[in-house]
Amino acid sequence: MRVLLRVEYNGGAYCGWQRQKNGLSVQEVLANAVFEVTGERSVMHGSGRTDAGVHAIAQAVHFDTHTKIPLDKLPIALNAHLPKSVRVKSAREVQGNFNARFDALSKTYLYRLYASPVSSPLKEGFAAFVPKKPNVQEMRRAAEYIVGEHDFKCFQAAGGHVKTTVRTIESLIIEEKGDEIIFEVTGNGFLYNMVRIMVGTLYYVGIGKLRPEEVKEIILSKDRTRAGKTMPPEGLYLKQVRYAED
Amino acid sequence: MRVLLRVEYNGGAYCGWQRQKNGLSVQEVLANAVFEVTGERSVMHGSGRTDAGVHAIAQAVHFDTHTKIPLDKLPIALNAHLPKSVRVKSAREVQGNFNARFDALSKTYLYRLYASPVSSPLKEGFAAFVPKKPNVQEMRRAAEYIVGEHDFKCFQAAGGHVKTTVRTIESLIIEEKGDEIIFEVTGNGFLYNMVRIMVGTLYYVGIGKLRPEEVKEIILSKDRTRAGKTMPPEGLYLKQVRYAED
């Protein structure tokens, strides 16, 4: 039986989603809990990697099991063997050829930044601190050039290896909430570090280092060096992964 | 010169506000930063203690110094010597007989709890998890018996030693925000663990273990054993301390 889990985690406690030699990964912690509960050594297939410090509100993970535990009881059983920084929120059966990565129709990420004279101990690790308040209207104008199907090579970090850098951004919403600015971006796929570089580029627009129209030019140039800085991981949250079966 | 600081901190990283033999306190960390900046060993006088795990959005702290550093630059100087879990947000001069504890006219605390089938890794340490969603209307009815001047001995934890247990609660507002319930309580003073026991008692009302009217009886009884459980520290935030000079 193939099972699809939705998993919330605090990325600050891990070296990222993917198993690594030095550092504890969410994948490893989850595989260990599955082993404790089922006695089986199963590979945990995530919808994609998240870097160290990046959070997940609902990472999607599939794995195979012969467990007799009813699926509605599986989250409780797994959570009993997981640290509090990782929680399985739901489990359901999917078809035997389902793949959490390749079957994802779209993903939604949040990015939280806050502008304040002094950094906030209570937001530390959960939102990116910027000293200068960006102009949200200008960032929204720039965001219009990002929405749609484009070659986003300019927003791909070194180390990304994919056949095509063309992706479709379905929506990019920017909201203010107190001293926070929250970016919610949905797309059919994301390149390595794409959201963090995209937000860094929009932030440059917000503080006047780039004009909104320049974002269009940067995309067309396919030149990473013209885009903004990669924003820090702690502001990023994988919010949702959608599948045809949902 | 006597200086009043407003300090934000993540209480999860400390044994509490007050200096202790085993464990790092916010008071100690702040005194060390003051020493680094001024060369002076000053005592940090807080508006009151906060327990391990309890956060402060704005703890008020006074101390004496002969520093020549302009007061508007003092937060930057201190923050350079503080861990990211403690931040001085402002500094101003006060009269030589000002006392952060005894001159406080009122304090406001927040308490965040959330009801969810599964605990949230992203709220871990920042809000108290309860498995059962309480009825907010019932809790609001009960809160009406708390507002006002009363002998709150029933809400005082063992270990509290004060001349009188009479306090005035100026307001107690309960709001729902997603799966969170946020209590905001302002009063002229609080007994040891008073907010956490008060919220625990209101929670019992919310889940039907107590009727709203029983809160009135519990207050009159002055009997701690009749009130609710002490809620965990991580949901509690010292939000504001008010003085006549503000």
Contact check, Cβ <8 Å, A84/B119: yes
Residue A229 clears pLDDT 80, i.e. is over it: yes
pLDDT tens for residues B184-217? 999 999 999 999 999 999 999 999 999 999 999 9
Q: Is the ipTM of this complex over 0.90?
A: yes
Please give the structure tokens belonging to residue B42: 């000053």
Residue B10 clears pLDDT 80, i.e. is over it: yes
**Can you list the alpha helix ranges (DSSP code H) found in chain A?**
26-38, 74-79, 136-146, 194-206, 212-221
* Minimum CA–CA partner of B78 in chain A: A118
Fold of B2-94: Alpha-Beta Plaits (3.30.70)
Amino acid B91: pLDDT = 98
Amino acid B187: pLDDT = 98
Residue B238's closest CA among B186, B160, B168? Answer: B186
Residue A128 clears pLDDT 80, i.e. is over it: yes
Mean pLDDT along residues A221-245: 96
SS3 of residue A137 by DSSP: helix
User: Which residues from B are below 8 Å from A8, CB to CB?
Assistant: 118, 120-122
Amino acid A159: pLDDT = 77
Catalytic annotation present for A51 = yes
Residue A245 clears pLDDT 80, i.e. is over it: no
What are the extents of the domains in chain A?
A: 2-94, 106-242
Cα angle B174-B176-B182, degrees, rounded to a multiple of 5:
50
What distance in Å separates the CA atoms of residue A61 and residue A97, rounded to the nearest whole number? 14
pLDDT confidence of B158, banded at 50, 70, 90? confident
Mean pLDDT along residues A189-209: 97
Contact check, Cβ <8 Å, A124/B84: yes
Residue B159 clears pLDDT 90, i.e. is over it: no
* Minimum CA–CA partner of A239 in chain B: B122
The rounded percent of chain B whose pLDDT value lies above 70 is 100
User: Which residues from B are below 8 Å from A124, CB to CB?
Assistant: 10, 84-85
pLDDT confidence of B162, banded at 50, 70, 90? confident
What distance in Å separates the CA atoms of residue A11 and residue A29, rounded to the nearest whole number? 12
User: Which residues from A are below 8 Å from B14, CB to CB?
Assistant: none
pLDDT confidence of B246, banded at 50, 70, 90? confident
What CATH number does domain A106-242 carry, 3.30.70.20, 3.30.70.660, 3.40.50.620, 3.30.450.20?
Answer: 3.30.70.660
User: Which residues from A are below 8 Å from B89, CB to CB?
Assistant: 117-118
Beta-strand pair B236-242/B55-64: parallel
The reply to whether domains B2-94 and B106-242 share a CATH topology is yes
Amino acid A246: pLDDT = 74
Beta-strand pair A55-64/A148-151: unpaired
Amino acid B237: pLDDT = 98
pLDDT tens for residues A10-49? 999 999 999 988 899 999 999 999 999 999 999 999 999 9
- Please answer whether residues A8 and A82 qualify as being in contact, where contact means their C-beta atoms are separated by less than 8 angstroms: no
Question: Which one of B73, B122, B124, B177 makes the best mutation probe of the A interface by having the most chain A beta carbons within 10 Å?
Answer: B122
* Minimum CA–CA partner of A76 in chain B: B118
**A50 phi/psi in degrees, rounded to 5:** -125, 140
Contact check, Cβ <8 Å, A84/B8: no
Q: What is the CA radius of gyration of chain B?
A: 19
User: Which residues from A are below 8 Å from B8, CB to CB?
Assistant: 118, 120-122
Query: What is residue A217's DSSP assignment?
Result: H
Amino acid A22: pLDDT = 86
Please give the structure tokens belonging to residue B90: 């402002």
What number of C-beta contacts closer than 8 Å exist between A and B?
56
Amino acid A51: pLDDT = 95
pLDDT confidence of B232, banded at 50, 70, 90? very high
User: Which residues from B are below 8 Å from A126, CB to CB?
Assistant: 122
B120/chain A closest Cα distance in angstroms: 7
Residue B22 clears pLDDT 90, i.e. is over it: no
Say which of A51, A64, A103, A246 is annotated catalytic: A51
Residues of A with CB under 8 A from a CB of B: 8-10, 55, 57, 75, 79, 84-89, 117-122, 124, 126, 237
Amino acid B161: pLDDT = 77
Amino acid A32: pLDDT = 98
Amino acid A224: pLDDT = 95
Residues 6+ apart with CB under 8 A from A36: A81
pLDDT confidence of B245, banded at 50, 70, 90? confident
* Minimum CA–CA partner of B89 in chain A: A118
Contact check, Cβ <8 Å, A75/B118: yes
Question: Which one of B14, B50, B89, B118 makes the best mutation probe of the A interface by having the most chain A beta carbons within 10 Å?
Answer: B118
pLDDT tens for residues B124-136? 999 999 989 999 9
Amino acid B139: pLDDT = 98
When comparing pLDDT for B83 and B131, which is higher?
Answer: B83
Mean pLDDT along residues B171-187: 97
B117/chain A closest Cα distance in angstroms: 8
Residues of B with CB under 8 A from a CB of A: 8-10, 55, 57, 75, 79, 84-89, 117-122, 124, 126, 237
A52/chain B closest Cα distance in angstroms: 15
pLDDT confidence of A237, banded at 50, 70, 90? very high
